[in-house]
Amino acid sequence: MPVTTSARPESAAGHWTVPAGAASTFSWAYDDGRERLLALYQRGKDRQWDAVRRIDWDLDVDPTDPLGTPDEALPLHGTPYWDRLGTGRRSELRQHFAAWQFSQFLHGEQGAMVCSARIVESAPDLDAKFFAATQTVDEARHVEIFSRFLREKIELSYPINDSLRTLLDDTLRDSRWDMPYLGMQVLVEGLALASFGLLRDTTSKPLPRHLLAYVMQDEARHVAFGRMALRDHYRELSATELADREEFVIEGCHLMRNRLRGTEVLENFGVPRAAAVRIAEESGYLRAFRRTLFSRIAPCVKDIGLWSPEVREAFTGLCDGDARGTDLDHLMRQDDEIAEALDTERFAAEETARAEEISEMVTLGGERRSGAADVSA
């Protein structure tokens, strides 16, 4: 799977090590814990699934148009750089943008896997450890899915974006047990969930639609988990402690805003960095995309109690003036229903095909018996 070279290279061994500052916490309180988190834990156990079996990996994907992306969605469209690209290079650009997008999903999911494992290690409550253990398995499955999709279907990948790397670094270096929740469950996972939803609802291609829908079904539980745990914890913090976390949210959201530009793709197509940033910022499609994404994070930040005037002002800018956001509970129920509907459609079709195959074999068997009877007569 080729890797582009415009972003900062990884170490020679292909690893990135972040020193951990959190302490490991054991809990000897083996009581029932919080009913809501335990219910999510039970749901997490019930909803485990196998990516090899649930997803039909035989579905064809055109690497040069894996999502059915319209030209207008590409930042270079309508610029002199677009006019200079021939048909072949435009197809290549479409492939690169999809590879970049899914590569950042992949890197974010690995970050979520590491952070959820950190929550198991450092969270003070056993019910939170229980759920985070199921989430770690979920995130490993997501890494498996996106890695396979990039390797086998898009046939191209990108290194981790610098802004995403910085947010992961800040999150993992922090010694406070709640920061993996805040950095990953609320910011990275929240933004990813919104991105998945937009792509799931706009792609015309079945395989990416299915894998995004199934991943979203898991992510809805993860975001709900983060909301519950942080809401309870932040009620007990001082104004100074809350202000510190609000500053982290503002800085993290601006890092995620910058991550969405995709300038490393444009640079690979001969666009100077300064021009790439300007083109991305002037893209109407990207602005609408970004506004929709942050409108899904804003209600979560408000719900957990980090909604100071400074945070509201930041989200007003990120959401182009409207930081009211969306109904998260409704969206998450919808995410679950869409995944279940896809399962019903796919496996019902498989059952129908199997029934037809059996019927055909029975018919052929009957014809053979009839022919043998005629010969013997």
Question: What is the structure's pLDDT at 34?
Answer: 75
Per-residue pLDDT at 4:
47
Q: Domain locations in the chain?
A: 35-248+256-289
363, two tokens: 């018919």
Element (H, E) at 204: none
- Architecture per CATH, domain 35-248+256-289, reads as Orthogonal Bundle (1.10)
CA-based diameter of the chain, in Å? 97
Contacts of 359 (CB under 8 A, 6+ apart): none
CA dist 170 and 183 (Å) reads 8
| Predicted local confidence at residue 52, as pLDDT | 94
Give me the DSSP letters along 295-332: HHHHHHHHHTT---HHHHHHHHHHTTT------HHHHH
Half-sphere exposure (Cβ direction) of 138: Cα atoms closer than 13 Å: 26
State the distance between the two ends of the chain, measured CA to CA, in whole angstroms.
64
Bridge partners (DSSP) listed for residue 3? 157
Q: In this structure, which amino acid lies at residue 97?
A: F
Cα–Cα distance measured from residue 172 to residue 116, given in angstroms and rounded to the nearest whole number: 11
Task: Please list the pLDDT of the chain residue by residue as tens digits (377 residues).
Answer: 554 444 343 444 577 777 776 677 777 776 766 787 788 778 888 889 999 999 999 999 999 999 998 888 899 998 999 999 988 899 999 999 999 999 999 999 999 999 999 989 988 888 888 889 999 999 999 999 999 999 999 999 999 999 999 999 998 888 888 998 899 888 888 888 888 988 999 898 999 999 999 999 998 888 888 888 899 899 999 999 999 999 999 999 999 888 888 899 999 999 999 999 999 988 888 888 888 788 888 888 999 999 999 999 998 888 877 776 677 778 888 888 898 999 998 777 666 656 566 666 667 666 665 565 565 55
Contacts of 177 (CB under 8 A, 6+ apart): 22, 25, 119, 122, 123, 124
Q: What is the pLDDT of residue 56?
A: 95
Rounded distance, CA 115 to CA 135, Å? 10
Give the model's pLDDT for residue 8. Answer: 40
Which pLDDT does position 210 carry in this prediction?
Answer: 95
